[in-house]
Structure 1
Amino acid sequence: MSSSTTTTVLLLFILSLSTATAATSYAPTAYEILKSYDFPAGLLPTGVTGYELDRDTGKFKVFLPETCKFSIEGYDLEYKSTITGVISSGRLYKLKGISVKVLLLWLNIVEVDNKHGELQFSVGIMSANFPVEGFEESPSCGCGFDCNGANLAALVSSS
């Protein structure tokens, strides 16, 4: 074999190993994990940096770079940098790290159930239902779904 043929064969071998390694080391994103448990990705804001999941018990941790706050349709929400809980098909429970402002009080969202196309958010003694379709897109920290409007408002106020 000539040296150029040997080099070509060696490069092809290394590329095939790299491709095989990349294929076997793929880990789904936190958003894909949500979908696999029958939840929309939009339950989490954009920017998740990682997660841990014990598939046997359903216990999980989701990591954000920092505390994330935003408003959606009149609700102020806060996600801590670490969110924990237990996930099973159509049910998130024992949640810690997600709060919603109701009137003047910040209440912890402790459970989310997906029932018949609606997400039921529970803060303990109270709950509210919302259509699943409203959670297909992930909100952004700081501006929710109104990031362009928020940026425009900031530009107008600074000029």
Structure 2
Amino acid sequence: MALRMRFRSFEAAIVVVVLVPLLLSVTVAAAYSSSIHELLRNYGLPAGLFPETVKSYNLDQTGVLEVKLDQPCMTKYDTRMLFETVVRANLSFGQLKGLEGLSQEELFLWLPVKGIIVNDPSSGLILIDIGLAYKQLSLSLFEVPPICRSQGLSRNIEGRKSFGFQDLR
């Protein structure tokens, strides 16, 4: 009888050691979002930072966010922005730092976006780090995920971006 009791307590210990972490990970995964837009909101960022056509995303344990699109595309907030097929950044609350795969048009030049920061959501402002300077924009521009168009966008042999006539208007 005593042996059976020990065995039951051993079974209970196994249940606690194996199932509790499993249940917690499922709960944590459920707390994380089912879409990139929900994930951004959970991190204090506006949902419209990425287009509605995001194919998939992955956030690893170190905070590296990788967002995949079917193809490069362009959209317009205040100015035009170009999303590559893969966009990577370090995600922390209120910011995307070390961005790769996102460019913004400034005075007919395409500049890489290095970071996106929301210091104080009540200010209604978002900071876009384009390397040379920070550009302040209204958070309201990023509330809704934009439609991203690939029409006229292609790559030439050297890997430089070229744009069709319609996209240059």
Scaled by the length of structure 1, the TM-score of the pair is: 0.69
Match of residue 97 from structure 1 = 101
Query: CA deviation digits over 1:90-142, x for unaligned, max 9?
Result: 11101001101111211000111102231100011211111222211111012
Q: Give the counterpart of 1:29 among 24, 27, 35.
A: 35
Structure 2: tracts of 5 or more residues without a match: 1-25, 151-169
Q: Give the counterpart of 2:59 among 50, 53, 77.
A: 53
Aligned length: 120
Scaled by the length of structure 2, the TM-score of the pair is: 0.65
Calculate the aligned-residue CA RMSD, in Å: 2.2
Structure 1: tracts of 5 or more residues without a match: 1-22, 144-159
Q: What secondary structure sits across from 1:133 in the alignment? A: helix
Q: What secondary structure sits across from 1:139 in the alignment? A: coil
Distance across 2 between alignment mates of 1:122 and 1:47: 24
Q: What secondary structure sits across from 2:99 in the alignment? A: strand
Runs of 4+ more than 2 Å apart: 23-27, 70-73
Aligned partners of 2:77 and 2:142 also within 8 Å:
no
Deviation at 1:57, TM superposition (A): 1.3
Distance across 1 between alignment mates of 2:126 and 2:77: 15
Alignment-mate amino acid for residue 107 of structure 1: L
Aligned partners of 2:105 and 2:111 also within 8 Å:
yes
Q: Does 1:67 align with 2:72?
A: yes
Distance across 2 between alignment mates of 1:138 and 1:131: 15
- Among all aligned residue pairs of Structure 1 and Structure 2, give the percentage whose two residues are the same amino acid: 28
Aligned partners of 2:118 and 2:127 also within 8 Å:
yes
Query: CA deviation digits over 1:138-159, x for unaligned, max 9?
Result: 110129xxxxxxxxxxxxxxxx
